[in-house]
């Protein structure tokens, strides 16, 4: 009997990475849980620019609004597109893998480094760290030069880049933990933690468990204040009752 259904939403159109992230989430949840994975039907195949992010947001929100049968949602893109908007249109818990990875890292170590895909992602991630009050805890946001679409444990070059940049961050910057800033890297986290000897945090595994914990604790998204139903938005109908 299924007791918990997680809606894992990939805001890009790469269904292969959706399935890889589904596998990561299923690995940490128990047999009474089900991961319902969905991939954006339209938009960028990888989200690496501000323009990509803006295009992905309405598709992400549409998937949240269509999956009313799940108990919680996991937005499986590190930039957490449409996260606040999603929380406005449902009472079910909504977790972003970016915020989840940072929560995990901040509790596993005093100082951590963030490994990202391309150099252009660095400013956005630095802004996100500042918003979450973690700038002083982060010893650096380090690009690996490997795009989102090429990430994954099966790509030896991508995994080698994680190990190379990770070792340098530990030895040269004093990182005590690492954050993998891409959902496509999620299936590399456990192997990298073993090979590097430090916690390697991905938001898919921890985000799935965080969503589960919120549901099991009986918590729902507040409908008072910031995440109130968006009745005032023209053309937006809320999913009350879920």
- Quote the pLDDT of residue 120: 82
If asked whether residues 38 and 88 sit together in one domain, one would say: yes
pLDDT value at residue 234: 44
Helix H or strand E encompassing 9: strand 4-10
Domain that holds residue 155: 98-202
Place of tokens 């005093």: 110
Q: How many residues does the chain have?
A: 242
Question: Are residue 138 and residue 52 in the same domain, yes or no?
Answer: no
What global pTM score does this model have?
0.90
CATH code for the domain of 212: 3.40.50.12500
Q: For 160-192, write each residue's pLDDT tens digit.
A: 889 999 999 999 999 999 999 888 888 888 999
CB 103 within 8 A of CB 129: no
Q: Are residues 114 and 78 in the same domain?
A: no
Split into its structural domains, the chain has a count of 2
* pLDDT above 90 for 44: no
Q: Are residues 103 and 192 in the same domain?
A: yes
Beta carbons of 201 and 108 less than 8 angstroms apart: yes
Q: Are 6 and 34 in contact (CB under 8 A)?
A: yes
């Amino acid at each position: 009997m299924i007791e918990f259904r997680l809606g894992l939403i990939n805001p890009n159109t790469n269904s292969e990475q959706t399935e890889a992230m589904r596998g990561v989430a299923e690995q940490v949840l128990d047999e009474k849980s089900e991961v319902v994975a969905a991939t954006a039907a339209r938009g960028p195949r990888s989200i690496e620019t501000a323009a990509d992010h803006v295009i992905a947001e309405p598709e992400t929100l549409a998937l949240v609004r269509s999956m009313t049968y799940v108990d919680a949602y996991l937005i499986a893109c590190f930039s957490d597109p449409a996260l606040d908007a999603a929380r406005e249109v449902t009472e079910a818990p909504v977790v972003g893998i970016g915020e989840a990875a940072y929560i995990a890292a901040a509790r596993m170590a005093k100082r951590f480094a963030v490994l990202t895909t391309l150099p252009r992602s660095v400013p956005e991630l630095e802004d996100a760290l500042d918003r979450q009050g973690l700038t002083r805890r982060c010893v650096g946001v380090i690009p690996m030069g490997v795009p989102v679409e090429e990430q994954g444990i099966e790509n030896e070059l991508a995994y080698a880049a994680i190990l190379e940049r990770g070792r340098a961050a530990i030895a040269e910057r004093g990182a005590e933990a690492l954050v993998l800033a891409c959902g496509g890297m999620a299936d590399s986290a456990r192997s990298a933690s073993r090979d590097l000897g430090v916690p390697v945090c991905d938001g898919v595994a921890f985000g799935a468990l965080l969503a589960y914990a919120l549901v099991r604790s009986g918590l729902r998204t507040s409908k008072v204040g910031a995440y109130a139903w968006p009745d005032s938005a023209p053309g937006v109908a809320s999913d009350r009752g879920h």
